[in-house]
C-alpha cells in the first residue's frame, strides 16, 4: 500500500504508475508493483525435467505446424521466427531416396545419385540464401534455409505421386499425368517460398531474389519428372 | 619561447585570432566531410577518399559514388566487401542483359552499362542458368531424336550436368583471369588509355554468355542447318560484345598482338559454343541405316536419314 502524495493529475495518464509518486515532503513507503507479463508455462519448471515424450511432441508439433503453413501459404511469421531444419532434412532424405532405383544400365547415363540430390538441395539452398543476403535481404541465414527446405514438400508429394503413377504404367498418359502434377507442385513450391521470403527483400530487387528460387525448384522438378524406373 | 613552438602554434593562433575577430565566420574543418547526410551512410569510409570520389564526378547517384569508395575500404574477409558486388537493382541487370543481346556498334559494353559498378550477380546466375539449360535441352533433344527407335530407352543423363557446370564456370572465370593477366602485362609495356579491372572483365564475359541461353533452347530443333545458323548468329552477337569491349584496350598496342588477342578471345568463345553443341546434343542423323522397322503395334515405321 502506498500513501498517495502529490497531485493526482498524473493518475489518468499513467495508470501503471498511479501507485508511485515522488514527493519531497512526505516519505513514501510501501511496495511498488511492476506489471509483469503472463507467466509462460516453461518458466515453472526447466525443460530438463519434463518427460521425453513432451519434448519430442513439442518439436513434432512445431514441425507439423510448419508443414501446414507450407500447404496453405499465408503471410505468417511463425515459419520464420522459430526455424528448424528437421523438416527440410526429412524431406531431402526422402526425396533423395525416392529418386533412387532409376534406370542404371550405364552408370554415366542414370539419374542423380543420392549424394547428388542431397548436394543440389542443400548447396542450392545455401547459395540462394547467400544471394538474398548479399542483395541486401534482412532475413537470417537459417530462417531462409528453413523456408526453402520446407517448401520442397509439394515436390516430395509430387515424387510420391509420380512413383505411384509409374507403378501403373510408363506410357504417354502416365507421362502427361506426371507432367501436370509436377508442374502444379513446382508452381506451388515457388509461390509458397516467394510468399515467405519476398517481404524481407528490398523492393527494387525482388525479381533478382525470386529468380534463383525459381531455378532451384525447376531443377528439382526436372529431376523428379525425368525419373524413369528400372 | 622557442622557434619551433612558434612555428607549431602559429597556425592555431591565427585561426583563433581570426575567429575572435570575426565570430560569425564559417569554419571548415578539413578532417571531416562537409555533408552530414552522406556521412551517415558511409561511416566506415575514410574521409579523404570521399573527396576523391567527388572530384572524379561520375554522373550516377550518390550511392554509386559512396560504394565506389567503399569497395576499396572494406577488408576482404568481411561480408560487406562481397555485398558491394551485388549492388544492382532489377532494372540494371535487365539493362545489362539487353545491352549484351543488342550490341550497339561502337559503344563499349563496359563503359555504357557497367560504369565502375561491376556486379557478380549477373555472371553467376547467367552461368548457372546456362548450365541447366544446356543439360536439360541436350537431354530433351536426344529424347526427341531417338524417339522412334524401338531399342531406345530414355535416360536422364544426369552426369552431364556436372560436366556442363565445370566447363561453363571454368570458361567464365579462368578465361577472364588469363585475359586480365595478359592485359596487365601489356599495360606495363605500352601505355593504354583503356584498362579494365578483373571484375569488369568477368562481368562482360558473364553477360555475353546470356545469348547462349535461348540458343541452347533452340538447339532442341533436330535440324543440322538450323543448329549451325544459331551457332553463327549467337557467336556474332556475343563476339561483337567482346570485340567492342576489348579492342579499345589493345588498340594502342603492337598491331599484331592486338589482332592476335582479339582473335584468341573470339576463338575460345567459338570453341565453347561448338563444343557444347557437339557434346550435349546428339547429331540429328540416325546412325542405324535400317530402312524399315516393324513397330510393336503393327504399323511399319520408316526411319528417315538426313
Q: Could you report the per-residue pLDDT of A173-215, keeping only the tens digit for each? A: 888 999 999 999 999 999 988 888 877 888 888 889 999 999 9
* Maximum distance among all Cα pairs of chain A, rounded to whole angstroms: 97
Tell me the count of A-B CB pairs closer than 8 A.
72
Residue B218: is its pLDDT beyond 90? yes
- pTM score: 0.72
Question: Binning pLDDT at 50, 70 and 90, where does residue B32 land?
Answer: very low
What is the rounded distance in angstroms from the CA atom of residue B172 to the CA atom of residue B195?
A: 19
Q: Cβ neighbours of residue A36 under 8 Å, at least 6 residues apart? A: none
- ipTM confidence: 0.74
Q: Give the span between the Cα atoms of A141 and A130, in whole angstroms.
A: 8
Nearest-CB residue to B90 (from A108, A109, A204) = A204
A contacts of B154 (beta carbons < 8 Å): 103, 226, 228
Please name every residue paired with A229 in a beta bridge, in sequence order, or none if there are none: A102
- Mean per-residue pLDDT over chain B, rounded: 75
pLDDT confidence of B75, banded at 50, 70, 90?
confident
Is the CB of residue A138 less than 8 Å away from at least one CB of chain B?
no
Q: What is the pLDDT of residues B237-273, one digit of tens each?
A: 999 988 888 888 888 778 888 888 899 999 999 999 9
User: In the prediction, which pLDDT does A49 show?
Assistant: 79
Indicate if the alpha-carbon torsion angle A18, A21, A26, A30 is positive or negative. Answer: positive
The helix-helix angle for B121-145 and A206-225 (nearest 10°) equals 30
Q: Mean pLDDT across the stretch A60-69?
A: 84
| Selected residue of A206, A208, A211, A221 to mutate for chain B interface (largest B Cβ count, 10 A) | A208
| Domain chopping of chain B, boundaries | 79-98+111-282
Paired residues of B294 in beta bridges: B300
What grid cell was written down for A131? 544471394
Closest CB from A110, A211, A212 relative to B155: A110
Exposed/middle/buried for residue A211 (C-beta within 10 Å: 0-12, 13-18, 19+)? middle
Assess B151–A contact: CB distance below 8 Å, yes or no.
Answer: no
Report the alpha-carbon distance of residue B82 to residue B74 in Å, rounded: 9
Segment B158-176 shows an average pLDDT of 91
Judging contacts by C-beta atoms under 8 Å, the chain B residues touching residue A206 are 90
Mean pLDDT of B68-83: 70
Spatial CA neighbour of B85 closest among B162, B199, B196, B177: B199
Percentage of residues in chain A having pLDDT higher than 70: 76
pLDDT at A157: 93
Mean pLDDT of chain A: 81
Query: Residue B158, SS3?
Result: coil
Å from A216 to nearest chain B CA?
10
Chain B closest CA to A135's CA: distance in Å? 6
Distance of alpha carbon A203 from alpha carbon A191, whole angstroms: 17
Nearest to B121 among A206, A208, A223 (CB): A208
User: Are B83 and A110 a contacting pair at CB < 8 A?
Assistant: no
Q: Which letter does DSSP use for residue B290 in this model? A: -
Of A4-13, A73-82, A110-119, A160-169, the range with the lowest mean pLDDT is A4-13
| C-beta atoms of B125 and A222 within 8 A | no
Task: Give the closest-approach CA distance of A97 to chain B in angstroms.
Answer: 16
When scoring B119, B134, B159, B163 by the number of chain A Cβ atoms within 10 A, the one with the most, hence best to mutate, is B159
pLDDT of A63 above 90 = no
pLDDT at B28: 58
CA distance A99 to A114: 8
Q: Is the pLDDT reported for residue A45 higher than 90?
A: no
> Is the CB of residue A140 less than 8 Å away from at least one CB of chain B?
no
Q: Is B184 on the interface with A (CB under 8 A)?
A: no
How many angstroms separate the CA atoms of A159 and A147, rounded?
A: 20
**Would you state the pLDDT for residue A79?**
64
- From chain B, pick out residues whose CB is under 8 angstroms from the CB of A204: 89-91
Minimal Cα distance from B125: which residue of A?
A: A212
A105: closest chain B residue by CA: B155
Q: Give the up-direction half-sphere exposure of residue A128: CA atoms within 13 A in the CB hemisphere.
A: 29
Q: Is B144 an interface residue toward A (CB < 8 Å)? A: no
Q: Is A67 on the interface with B (CB under 8 A)?
A: no
Sort out which chain B residues have CB atoms less than 8 A from A106's CB and list them: 155
The predicted model gives B296-306 an average pLDDT of: 50
Distance of CA A26 to the CA centre of its chain: 58
Q: What is the reported pLDDT for B43?
A: 40
Q: Does B147 touch chain A (CB under 8 A)?
A: no
A14 burial type by CB count under 10 A (0-12 exposed, 13-18 middle, 19+ buried): exposed
Question: Which residues in chain A have Cβ-Cβ distances shorter than 8 Å to B155?
Answer: 103, 105-106, 109-110, 228
Confidence check: pLDDT of B116 > 50: yes
**Which one, of A98, A94, A89, lies nearest residue A125 by Cα?**
A89
Show the 3-state SS of chain A: CCCCCCCCCCCCCCHHHCCCCCCCCCCCCCCCCCCCCCCCHHHHCCCCCCCHHHHHHHHHHHHHHHHHHHHCCCCCCHHHHCCCCHHHHHHHHHHHHHCCCECCCCCCCCCCCHHHHHHHHHHHHHHHHHHHHHCCCCCCHHHHHHHHHHCCHHHHHHHHHHHHHHHHCCCHHHHHHHHHHHHHHHHHHHHHHHHHHHHHCCHHHHHHHHHHHHHHHHHHHHHHHCCCEC
- Is residue B172 within 8 Å of residue B207, measured between CB atoms? no
**What does the block give as the cell for B296?**
510393336
Q: Which of A103, A136, A219 lies at the smallest CB-CB distance from B153?
A: A103
Query: For residue A88, what are the contacts with CB-CB under 8 A and spacing of at least 6?
Result: A125, A145, A146, A148, A149, A150, A152
Range A109-114 average pLDDT: 77
- φ and ψ of B146, to 5 deg: -90, 15
Using one digit for the tens of pLDDT, what is the confidence trace for B79-108? Answer: 888 888 888 888 888 988 888 888 888 777
In this model, does residue A1 exceed pLDDT 60?
Answer: no
Interface test with A, best of B96, B119, B158 (most A CBs within 10 A): B158
Chain A residues with CB-CB distance to B79 below 8 A: 133
Distance from CA of B292 to the nearest CA of A (A): 24
Amino acid at each position: 500500500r502506498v500513501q498517495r502524495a502529490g497531485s493526482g493529475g498524473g493518475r489518468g495518464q499513467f495508470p501503471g504508475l498511479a501507485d508511485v509518486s515522488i514527493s519531497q515532503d512526505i516519505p513514501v513507503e510501501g511496495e511498488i508493483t511492476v506489471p509483469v507479463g503472463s507467466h509462460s508455462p516453461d518458466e515453472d519448471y526447466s525443460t530438463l525435467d519434463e518427460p521425453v515424450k513432451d519434448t519430442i511432441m513439442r518439436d513434432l508439433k512445431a514441425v507439423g505446424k510448419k508443414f501446414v503453413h507450407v500447404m496453405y501459404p499465408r503471410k505468417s511469421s511463425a515459419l520464420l521466427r522459430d526455424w528448424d531444419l528437421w523438416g527440410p532434412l526429412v524431406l531431402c532424405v526422402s526425396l533423395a531416396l525416392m529418386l533412387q532405383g532409376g534406370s542404371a544400365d550405364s552408370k554415366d547415363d542414370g539419374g542423380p545419385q543420392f549424394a547428388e540430390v542431397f548436394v543440389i538441395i542443400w548447396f542450392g539452398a545455401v547459395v540462394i540464401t547467400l544471394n538474398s543476403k548479399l542483395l541486401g535481404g534482412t532475413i537470417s541465414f537459417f530462417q531462409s534455409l528453413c523456408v526453402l527446405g520446407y517448401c520442397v514438400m509439394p515436390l516430395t508429394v509430387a515424387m510420391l505421386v509420380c512413383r505411384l503413377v509409374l507403378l501403373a504404367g510408363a506410357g504417354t498418359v502416365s507421362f502427361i499425368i506426371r507432367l501436370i502434377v509436377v508442374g502444379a507442385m513446382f508452381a506451388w513450391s515457388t509461390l509458397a517460398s516467394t510468399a515467405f521470403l519476398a517481404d524481407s527483400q528490398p523492393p527494387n530487387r525482388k525479381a533478382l531474389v525470386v529468380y534463383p528460387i525459381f531455378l532451384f525448384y525447376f531443377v528439382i522438378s526436372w529431376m523428379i519428372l525425368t525419373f524413369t524406373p528400372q | 619561447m622557442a622557434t619551433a613552438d612558434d612555428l607549431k602554434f602559429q597556425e592555431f593562433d591565427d585561426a583563433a585570432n581570426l575567429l575572435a575577430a570575426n565570430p560569425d565566420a564559417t569554419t571548415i574543418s578539413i578532417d571531416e566531410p562537409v555533408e552530414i547526410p552522406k556521412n551517415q551512410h558511409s561511416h566506415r569510409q575514410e574521409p579523404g577518399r570521399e573527396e576523391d570520389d567527388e572530384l572524379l564526378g561520375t554522373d550516377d547517384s550518390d550511392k554509386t559514388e559512396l560504394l565506389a569508395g567503399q569497395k576499396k575500404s572494406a577488408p576482404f574477409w568481411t561480408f560487406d566487401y562481397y555485398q558491394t558486388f551485388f549492388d544492382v537493382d532489377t532494372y540494371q541487370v535487365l539493362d545489362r542483359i539487353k545491352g549484351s543481346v543488342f550490341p550497339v556498334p561502337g559503344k563499349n559494353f563496359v563503359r555504357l552499362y557497367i560504369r565502375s559498378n561491376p556486379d557478380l550477380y549477373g555472371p553467376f546466375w547467367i552461368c548457372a542458368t546456362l548450365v541447366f539449360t544446356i543439360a536439360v535441352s541436350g537431354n530433351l533433344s536426344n529424347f526427341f531424336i531417338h524417339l522412334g527407335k524401338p531399342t531406345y530407352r530414355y535416360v536422364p543423363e544426369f552426369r552431364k550436368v556436372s560436366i556442363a557446370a565445370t566447363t561453363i564456370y571454368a570458361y567464365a572465370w579462368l578465361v577472364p583471369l588469363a585475359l586480365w593477366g595478359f592485359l596487365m602485362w601489356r599495360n606495363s609495356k605500352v601505355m593504354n588509355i583503356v584498362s579494365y579491372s578483373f571484375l569488369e572483365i568477368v562481368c562482360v564475359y558473364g553477360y555475353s554468355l546470356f545469348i547462349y541461353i535461348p540458343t541452347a533452347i533452340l538447339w532442341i530443333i533436330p535440324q543440322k542447318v538450323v543448329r549451325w545458323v544459331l551457332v553463327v548468329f549467337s557467336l556474332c552477337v556475343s563476339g561483337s560484345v567482346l570485340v567492342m569491349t576489348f579492342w579499345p584496350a589493345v588498340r594502342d598496342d603492337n598491331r599484331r598482338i592486338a589482332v592476335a588477342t582479339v582473335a584468341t578471345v573470339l576463338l575460345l568463345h567459338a570453341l565453347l559454343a561448338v563444343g557444347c553443341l557437339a557434346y550435349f546434343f546428339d547429331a540429328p542423323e540416325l546412325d542405324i541405316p535400317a530402312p524399315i522397322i516393324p513397330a510393336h503395334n503393327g504399323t511399319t515405321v520408316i526411319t528417315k536419314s538426313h
